[in-house]
């Protein structure tokens, strides 16, 4: 008999979040910075908490992380995007424990950026292609309320449904955090699927969060256009 | 129709027994042991709400195979399985949790043998019934129960608790915080005992719930409520009752159910 140790997967959600940000730099449209086409690294930094959640028979496990940053590369036309680094920290969960989220197997390659404006909403979207065998987000959960510590779950993109992140240009008044002057990304209810780990890990994880997106280094704004 | 004193006494005894059975509501069918896993039939899983994303919903089957149930002055060992089927999930954006009840099955169990060896007239049975309120708020399995008390002299609707005043259980794994005289107790964390399908063994507990008085006992009018209340010590305030449910639980995501 083996200890159940893993019930939750919330961490996975966060990993997915990270993916989205990085993997695909902006493509399929034109990405500029300072009026010139931009090819290079970009940095996504969370605006407010990033949350990740997975289900269990005793209710959802919701992880709230106070810090998240994603380092990615993109070509000016949005192709060849790579997610090179992921850092998520300060995660606690609603079962009075902590959660550690780590993205392994980086860089994650695959995806594109579309200029796909929506009236009153986004300017485009980052799409992480799926399935993507490179994606492996590890979540280790301590769940004191349920007597479970060190539950390890791995999540990836195993279905044909891509992961999508809405992108807002700096001048878009409908961006998630209007008081932040930079371009932003919004991850809302995107899912990652269980790939390995404890038998009790949630089958899917959902991630939510807002990010500012700038060049790295330099911190200059990026613009997504047609 | 007038009920003879002898019958009333028998009924009283039965009522008392009833309380015991109430506790026992758990046991009736062949008891599942730690070595013999119950069957998990996912065909009984409820349909999901129209707006539910099946990626974030799962069907759960919890089989209580042992433990104890103390209601007022009656304490019963659970010897027959109680099976609860339910679906739970959440909105992937708002994280609002939702629960859908599927089914609740518990066999009636004998609380008191017939005074004359008969299994019907003077014997008393009890059977737990689902009474609503199912959810997983707070990381616990919360559900309302009533206990049907079954004896011809008590009528067809005799129960401990009612739909408007049920036994409200909040079954959790963590340490409880009951009012006195009860003291804190803890459940047992889930352990994987099978992987195909995944079966968890766990113990959930609650000893901070109240038990309401008997309802509609005696010609369905409550004429015998006093007898059941007297025997079982009802109503029983929080701090005097305990549920320790040993369970096997299995689950499947709705993406695997079609």
Which whole number is the average pLDDT over A172-199? Answer: 95
Query: Buried b vs exposed e over A61-90: b needs ≥16 C-beta within 10 Å?
Result: bbbbbeebbbbbbbbbbbebbbbbbbebee
Supply the DSSP string of A41-83, one letter for each residue. Answer: EEEEEESS-EEEEE--TT--EEEEEEEEEEEEEE-TTB-S-EE
What is chain B's mean pLDDT, rounded?
Answer: 84
Decide if pLDDT at A195 tops 90. yes
Asked if A146 and B174 come within 8 Å (Cβ–Cβ), the reply is yes
Nearest to B249 by CA among A56, A189, A40: A56
Q: What is the DSSP string of A76-109?
A: TTB-S-EEEEEEEEEEEETTS-BEEEEEESPPEE
Q: Which two tokens stand for residue B147?
A: 């206990």
pLDDT single digits (tens) A62-90: 999 999 999 888 899 999 888 889 999 99
Q: Which pLDDT does position B250 carry in this prediction?
A: 96
- Classified as helix, coil or strand, B79 is coil
Q: What is the tens place of the pLDDT at every residue in A89-126? A: 999 999 999 999 999 988 888 888 889 999 999 999 99
pLDDT at position B151 is 85
Give CA–CA dist B152/B3, Å, rounded. Answer: 11
What mean pLDDT do residues B78-98 have?
95
- Separation in Å, CA of B13 to nearest CA in chain A: 39
Closest partner CB to A200 (pick from B174, B186, B198): B198
State mean pLDDT over A127-155. 93
Averaged pLDDT for residues A124-150: 93
Backbone angles phi, psi at A18, to 5 degrees: -60, -45
The strand pairing partners of A46, in sequence order, are A211
Q: What is the ipTM of this complex?
A: 0.85
Whether the Cβ atoms of residue B108 and residue B148 lie closer than 8 Å to each other: yes
Count the residues in chain B: 258
For residue B55, give the 3-state DSSP assignment: helix
Chain B residues touching residue A206 (CB < 8 angstroms): 55-56, 90, 92-93, 95
Counting residues of chain B whose pLDDT is more than 90, the rounded percentage is 64
Nearest to A57 by CA among B192, B258, B129: B192
Place of tokens 């036309």: A77
- What pLDDT is stored for residue A115 in this prediction? 92
Rg value, chain B, Cα: 19
- Residues B230-252 have pLDDT tens digits of 878 999 999 999 999 999 999 99
Inter-chain touch A55–B90, beta carbons under 8 Å:
yes
**Strand A30-33 and strand A36-37: pairing?**
antiparallel
Q: What backbone torsions phi and psi does residue A74 show, to the nearest 5 degrees?
A: -145, 150
The predicted-structure confidence for B182-227, as pLDDT tens digits, reads as follows 999 999 999 999 988 899 999 999 999 999 999 999 887 778 788 8
Q: Which residues of A touch B93 (CB under 8 A)?
A: 188-189, 206, 208
Peptide bond into B197 cis (omega under 30): yes
Interface contact flag, B139 A198, Cβ < 8 Å:
no
pLDDT in tens, B148-184: 988 888 888 999 999 999 999 999 999 999 999 999 9
Give me the sign of the Cα torsion angle B43, B46, B52, B55: negative
Residue of B nearest to A3 (CA): B191
The percent of residues in chain B predicted with pLDDT above 70, rounded, is 82
Q: Express each pLDDT in B91-145 by its tens digit.
A: 999 999 999 999 999 988 777 666 556 666 667 788 999 999 999 999 999 999 9
């Amino acid at each position: 008999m083996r200890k159940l140790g893993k019930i939750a997967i919330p961490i996975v959600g966060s990993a997915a979040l990270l993916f989205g940000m990085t993997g695909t730099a902006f493509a399929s449209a034109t990405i500029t910075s300072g009026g010139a086409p931009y090819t290079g690294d970009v940095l996504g930094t969370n605006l407010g908490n990033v949350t990740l959640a997975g289900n269990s028979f005793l209710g959802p496990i919701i992880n709230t992380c106070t810090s998240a940053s994603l380092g990615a590369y993109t070509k000016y036309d949005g192709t060849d995007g790579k997610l090179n680094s992921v850092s998520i920290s300060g995660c606690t969960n609603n079962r009075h424990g902590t959660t550690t989220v780590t993205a392994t197997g980086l860089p994650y390659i695959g995806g594109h950026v579309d200029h796909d404006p929506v009236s009153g909403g986004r300017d485009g979207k980052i799409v992480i292609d799926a399935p993507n065998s490179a994606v492996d987000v590890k979540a280790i959960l301590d769940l004191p309320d349920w007597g479970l510590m060190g539950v390890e779950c791995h999540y990836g993109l195993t279905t044909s449904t891509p992961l999508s992140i809405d992108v807002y240009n700096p001048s878009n008044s409908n961006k998630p955090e209007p008081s932040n002057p930079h371009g932003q990304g919004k991850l809302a209810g995107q899912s990652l699927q269980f790939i390995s780990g404890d038998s009790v890990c949630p089958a899917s994880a959902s991630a939510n969060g807002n990010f500012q997106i700038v060049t790295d280094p330099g911190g200059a704004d990026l613009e997504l256009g047609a | 129709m007038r009920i003879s004193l002898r019958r009333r006494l028998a009924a009283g005894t039965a009522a008392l027994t009833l309380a015991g059975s109430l506790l026992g509501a758990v046991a009736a069918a062949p008891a599942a042991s730690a070595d013999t896993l119950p069957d998990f039939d996912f065909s009984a899983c409820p349909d999901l709400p129209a707006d539910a994303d099946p990626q974030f919903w799962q069907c759960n089957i919890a089989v209580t195979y042992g433990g104890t149930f103390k209601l007022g002055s009656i304490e019963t060992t659970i010897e027959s399985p109680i099976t609860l089927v339910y679906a739970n999930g959440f909105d992937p954006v708002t994280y609002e949790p939702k629960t859908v009840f599927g089914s609740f099955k518990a066999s009636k169990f004998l609380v008191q043998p017939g005074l004359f060896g008969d299994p019907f007239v003077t014997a008393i049975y009890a059977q737990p019934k689902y009474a609503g309120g199912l959810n997983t708020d707070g990381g616990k399995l919360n559900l309302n129960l009533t206990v049907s008390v079954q004896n011809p002299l008590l009528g067809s609707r005799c129960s401990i608790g009612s739909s408007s005043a049920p036994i409200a259980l909040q079954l959790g794994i963590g340490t409880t915080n009951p009012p006195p005289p009860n003291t804190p107790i803890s459940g047992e964390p889930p352990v994987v005992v099978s992987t195909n399908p995944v079966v968890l063994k766990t113990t959930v507990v609650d000893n901070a719930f109240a038990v309401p008085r008997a309802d509609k006992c005696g010609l369905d009018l409550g004429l015998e409520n006093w007898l059941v209340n007297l025997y079982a010590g009802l109503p029983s305030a929080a701090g005097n009752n305990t549920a320790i449910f040993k369970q096997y639980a299995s689950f499947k995501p709705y993406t695997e159910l079609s």
